[in-house]
Chain A
Amino acid sequence: MTLRQRYWLAAGAAICLLGASGTAIAPLAAQEQIAPSKTLTPGKGSELTTARCVICHDATHITRSRLSRAEWEDNIQVMIKRGMPIAPDEIPVVVEYLATYYSHAAPPAADSAPVAASAPAAAAEDPVQKLLTTNACMACHALDRKLVGPGFREIAQRYQGDNAAPEKLARKIREGGVGAWGAIPMPPHQQLGSADLALIVTWVMRQK
């Protein structure tokens, strides 16, 4: 018997439990909660910050926070310990962005045309770019340099003229593997269907 049932028997009285609004009157020290945004405010550095920070956790971890510059600097060191890949020269850009838009001071208005500087708007619509970002490929790969895995340009150069390469690479992306470039393995991506893989591999092979 639940406590409530037992009480009904014991009290034998009609008790109206109406309006369970769910909004507990706050404990004595509580504050009003506002639902945090699920995307970062557009502005200088928002793209890089999203790419580096919205992988392990959603953007609300950032958008619900208000930290000083020093606290954001500390936070980035903690995230590196948590396994975040980031280049040393990217850190100041990310800190500047976070300290501008997520500090205790009122944030500036969202920048209306921030994307243009780093990526043409058309690229955002590109299905291959979309696949690369939604599948976190760009957390480990860059176009022109080694990150966790090899740069896509380097990959394209290595397999130039190899007719078996597209199928081999598609299989490798899907199933993961190690040894072609070093001791760090690539995880499997079994969520990718054959059409998506074909798009990605065709794009990779063109990066030379």
Chain B
Amino acid sequence: MADKITGLANPEQGTSRRDFMAKVAVAAVTAGTTIPRLASAQTAAKPPADPAGVISNDVVMAGKDAALKMHSERPLTASATAEFLADEITPTNRVFVRNNLFTTEFSEANHVVEIKGLVDKPLKLTVADIKSMFKNTSTVAMIECAGAGRTAFNPVPRGTPWPATGGMSCPKWNGVRLGDVLKAAGIRSDGAHVSFTGADFGALPTIPKVARSVPLWKALEEHSMIVYGMNDGPLPVVHGAPIRVMIPGWAGSASVKWVAGIEVLSAPLKGPYMDSSYRMPRHPVAPGSKMPEDAVSTEGWPIKSMITNPAPNARFKIGKPVLVAGHAWVAEADIERVELSFDEGRSWQNAQLNAKAAKYAWQTFSYAYTPRGPGYMTVLARATDSKGNTQPIVTPWNPLGYYWNGIHRVGFSVES
């Protein structure tokens, strides 16, 4: 019998994953009464094997720098911390990884993005169409998971345990302006939001697709892009190849990977990635409390900075200058100043700010500090934006642990 089965392959007769997912969306399988108890022997301790069309974590991580540490295996999440992120433009192999579902591989030739909804002329574009029909451009821009730094909250909220300085990157993105594509489809006057849906899939057909929406003004902002390359090289599969969205400076979930659908809507999208994840209370809530009913969707990151040099616990000599450097960023404003303190916040001095690479890039700061005495020291960095917002000492707690932007503090030793 085994021999006969080997000759099975006649793939056209099968159901493709994509067909499958599409059909299941209609034939919704919910936790109804027909679902019975288990058969015997349910002993799997590990999640079921990856299905076809999925790139394994081992393959993804082999393409990454050793500085990237995995925070969860399914879905795959990994990041490097501040001391490994000193570059003004984050190298591709240090860009953090945040999947919601599997690392799914799609052929560039067959992948289609549909532009639909409140548009005059719906479009179905291949990657080649996108590259040839619209002006190719690039920008350096921040992408940061809403939960970046989550483990700095107390108590630590549920969700990916991002380190205090992990879950953010600032690579160069190659692609076309999202606004150019939307305008080609002709946005109708009642269009006010734009949703993005990924083609990636999870372990069960009942899992909803990853989908988020942003207000139209942000989609049309000239740095919002449909992206096919990173740092002038190919876009890695784990970062959404062949094509993804990039909404600069906003909580990373808006930048949907493996994008297959772009829809102009009159109101924000509904769905689990809008109504259950990626929500923030309007006002601070007591640590440990539930998400208030009137919570709002995550948008742009507030003012934030981190120290990339010195590395934690580095050792220096008295009288020799120490490079203190790092980055500061904010989504919808400019950086006004970055101040440093070497005495636990009793006094502050301005660091030097370098020009930033692009509107939504992080801005590097530096300062030469010459230690005058021995001992264990700390440096604190605090940034202020052009709207007058300064980083808090500790970010107000929120149920999903988003937008950690508390002051970063690094310790180092000075020896004689």
Complex interface bits, A192-206 against B, C-beta within 8 A gives 1, otherwise 0: 001101100110000
CA distance A64 to B207 in the complex (A): 23
Contact A187 B39 (CB under 8 A): no
Contact of B74 among A20, A58, A185 (CB under 8 A): A58
Q: Which of A79-124 contact B (CB under 8 A)?
A: 80-90, 115, 118-120, 123-124
With both chains docked as a complex, state the minimum distance between the C-beta of B230 and any C-beta of chain A, in angstroms: 18
Q: Which of B14-41 contact A (CB under 8 A)?
A: 14-17, 19-20, 23-24, 27, 29-31, 33-41
Contact of A134 among B38, B44, B86, B366 (CB under 8 A): B44
Contact A60 B272 (CB under 8 A): no
Q: Which of B225-279 contact A (CB under 8 A)?
A: 272, 276
With both chains docked as a complex, state the minimum distance between the C-beta of B259 and any C-beta of chain A, in angstroms: 20
Contact A50 B203 (CB under 8 A): no
CA distance A184 to B20 in the complex (A): 9
Q: Does B321 contact A (CB under 8 A)?
A: yes
Residue of A nearest to B317 (CB): A16
Contact B20 A82 (CB under 8 A): no
Contact B411 A25 (CB under 8 A): yes
With both chains docked as a complex, state the minimum distance between the C-beta of B36 and any C-beta of chain A, in angstroms: 4
A-side binding surface: helix, strand, loop or mixed? Answer: loop
B-side binding surface: helix, strand, loop or mixed? Answer: loop
Residue of A nearest to B80 (CB): A22
By a CB distance below 8 angstroms, the chain A residues around B8 are 167, 170-171, 174-175, 194
By a CB distance below 8 angstroms, the chain A residues around B73 are 38, 58, 60
Contact A191 B52 (CB under 8 A): yes
CA distance A129 to B41 in the complex (A): 7
Number of interface residues of A (CB under 8 A): 106
CA distance A162 to B41 in the complex (A): 28
Q: Does B147 contact A (CB under 8 A)?
A: no
Contact A82 B207 (CB under 8 A): yes
Contact B410 A24 (CB under 8 A): yes
Complex interface bits, A154-187 against B, C-beta within 8 A gives 1, otherwise 0: 0000000000001100110011111000111111
With both chains docked as a complex, state the minimum distance between the C-beta of A98 and any C-beta of chain B, in angstroms: 12
CA distance A126 to B51 in the complex (A): 22
Q: A21-B311, A28-B393 are in contact. Are A123 and B164 (CB under 8 A)?
A: no
Q: Does B128 contact A (CB under 8 A)?
A: no
Contact B20 A124 (CB under 8 A): no
By a CB distance below 8 angstroms, the chain B residues around A81 are 272, 276
Contact A26 B164 (CB under 8 A): yes
With both chains docked as a complex, state the minimum distance between the C-beta of B362 and any C-beta of chain A, in angstroms: 11
CA distance A33 to B69 in the complex (A): 14
Contact of B40 among A13, A83, A118, A135 (CB under 8 A): A118
By a CB distance below 8 angstroms, the chain A residues around B366 are 3, 7
Q: A4-B86, A67-B158, A176-B14 are in contact. Are A59 and B45 (CB under 8 A)?
A: yes
CA distance A144 to B87 in the complex (A): 58
With both chains docked as a complex, state the minimum distance between the C-beta of B213 and any C-beta of chain A, in angstroms: 18
By a CB distance below 8 angstroms, the chain A residues around B309 are 3-4, 7, 17
Contact A27 B408 (CB under 8 A): yes
Contact A187 B323 (CB under 8 A): no
CA distance A166 to B3 in the complex (A): 12
Contact of B313 among A23, A47, A50, A56 (CB under 8 A): A23
Number of interface residues of B (CB under 8 A): 102
Contact of B51 among A28, A182, A189 (CB under 8 A): A189
Q: A25-B378, A56-B203 are in contact. Are A123 and B310 (CB under 8 A)?
A: no
CA distance A85 to B325 in the complex (A): 50
Contact A142 B36 (CB under 8 A): yes
Contact A3 B17 (CB under 8 A): no
Stretch from B148-156, B185-193, B293-301, B329-337 forming part of the interface with A: B148-156
By a CB distance below 8 angstroms, the chain A residues around B204 are 55-56, 83-85, 136, 139-140, 148
By a CB distance below 8 angstroms, the chain A residues around B205 are 148, 184-185, 187
Q: A136-B48, A140-B204, A166-B1 are in contact. Are A87 and B35 (CB under 8 A)?
A: yes
Q: Which of B197-233 contact A (CB under 8 A)?
A: 202-208
With both chains docked as a complex, state the minimum distance between the C-beta of B312 and any C-beta of chain A, in angstroms: 5
CA distance A29 to B393 in the complex (A): 9
By a CB distance below 8 angstroms, the chain B residues around A15 are 316, 320-323
Contact A16 B42 (CB under 8 A): no
By a CB distance below 8 angstroms, the chain A residues around B39 are 138, 141-144, 152
Q: Does B49 contact A (CB under 8 A)?
A: yes
Q: Does A208 contact B (CB under 8 A)?
A: no
CA distance A33 to B154 in the complex (A): 12
Contact B88 A31 (CB under 8 A): no
By a CB distance below 8 angstroms, the chain A residues around B47 are 54-58, 136
CA distance A20 to B24 in the complex (A): 49
Q: Which of B314-358 contact A (CB under 8 A)?
A: 314-317, 320-323, 325, 354
CA distance A176 to B22 in the complex (A): 14
Beyond A21-B312, A27-B406, 15 additional contacts (C-beta under 8 Å) are A3-B354, A10-B368, A11-B368, A15-B322, A24-B83, A25-B410, A25-B411, A38-B45, A54-B46, A56-B204, A148-B206, A167-B8, A185-B19, A185-B205, A197-B5
Please give me the 5 A-B residue pairs with the lowest Cβ-Cβ distance, nearest first: A175-B14, A136-B48, A83-B206, A145-B36, A190-B52
Question: Can you list 5 A-B contacts (CB < 8 A)?
Answer: A47-B38, A56-B47, A64-B161, A185-B23, A197-B5
